[in-house]
Structure 1
Amino acid sequence: MEIVEVKKDLLNVPNTYIVCYCISQDGAMGAGVARQICNENQKMRETVKNEITTKNIEVGDNVYYQNPQNGRFIVNMITKNNYWNKSYKMEQGEYLNNLKSCLMNLKKYMKNGC
């Protein structure tokens, strides 16, 4: 699997792109790009918060969501505990390795017919 970083407006990329961005472990998503993405994906906040709670998701983990209307996949990278905290200073490679693992799992999920 090839991972390519594309610098574009996250809100205007084609639905075939997997959108990855950072959120807090509390799942607030109430400001910035997180809020805008939640506005376009009405059930995402509730779904992601539920998954964080039930699966004991921690900082450094990723939670993905698929929009049922357009099929777009969104990867929520957990980089801090609460929305008011600053992101943890993990090695950039650690975040990228976690993201790569998440994308590999997502690829398997997509191959199996979602």
Structure 2
Amino acid sequence: MTYREDRKDLFTVPEDYYLAHCISADFGMGKGIVVEFNKRFDMKRKLQTKYPDYLNQYTHKRIGGDCLLEGRVLNLITKERYFQKPTIITMRLALEKMKQICLENDIKKIAMPVIGCGLDRLDWNDVSEQIKSVFTNTEVEILVCKR
């Protein structure tokens, strides 16, 4: 794994990067950077169409943390409802699922914002340690785009 943090706009990275961000299982997607993902990729409609009963399935899992790949976007699901806050455990589980998706789909480059630390209020030091821990011993390049 290579990991770096850079001051740049996430949406200006080259097309060979997959983009990762956090969402809720209810696909609320009304605030934060997810609004831009919706504008650029029509993500909410695509996920609602592809996974019409996702919230119900997620609620029955009761473990928290998941990741859904749609196009070149990795949607990390870290909480059940949009108004809730994730935990470092649900973040870790979502990252582990993202790693599995990367390995299964030969994804080698991921760009992401400072996930889970804006509206979701997790500590970036904790989240970045989880990213490094999960992706250690992989060939995935992680680029964190800070504003």
Alpha-carbon spacing, 1:37–1:105, altered in 2? closer, same or farther (3 Å): same
Aligned 1:33-72 pairs, distance under 5 A: 33-42=33-42, 44-54=43-53, 56-57=57-58, 59-66=64-71
The one-letter amino acid of 2:38's match is: C
Give CA-to-partner distance per residue, 1:66-85, whole Å, 9 cap, x none.
Answer: 1xxxxxx0000000111110
Q: Unpaired runs of 5+ in structure 1? A: 67-72, 109-114
Counterpart Cα distance in 2 of 1:9 and 1:26: 27
Q: Which runs of 5+ in 2 are unaligned?
A: 108-147
Higher relative CO (CA 8 A, sep ≥ 6), structure 1 or 2?
2
For 2:85, the aligned partner's letter is K
Question: CA shift at 1:91, angstroms?
Answer: 6.5
TM-score (structure 1 length as normaliser): 0.71
Q: Which has the higher strand share?
A: 2
Superposition deviation, residue 5 in structure 1? 5.5
What is the aligned partner in structure 2 of residue 20 from structure 1? 20
2:20 is matched by which residue type in structure 1? C
Task: Measure the CA separation in 2 of the matches of 1:18 and 1:51.
Answer: 19
Report the secondary structure of 1:90's partner residue.
Answer: helix
**Identity across aligned pairs (percent)?**
24
The CA distance in 2 between the partners of 1:13 and 1:28, in whole Å, is 26
- The separation in 1 between residues aligned to 2:38 and 2:87, in whole angstroms, is 23
**Helix, strand or coil at the partner of 1:23:** strand
Q: RMSD of the alignment, in Å?
A: 2.5
- Give the number of equivalent residue pairs: 100
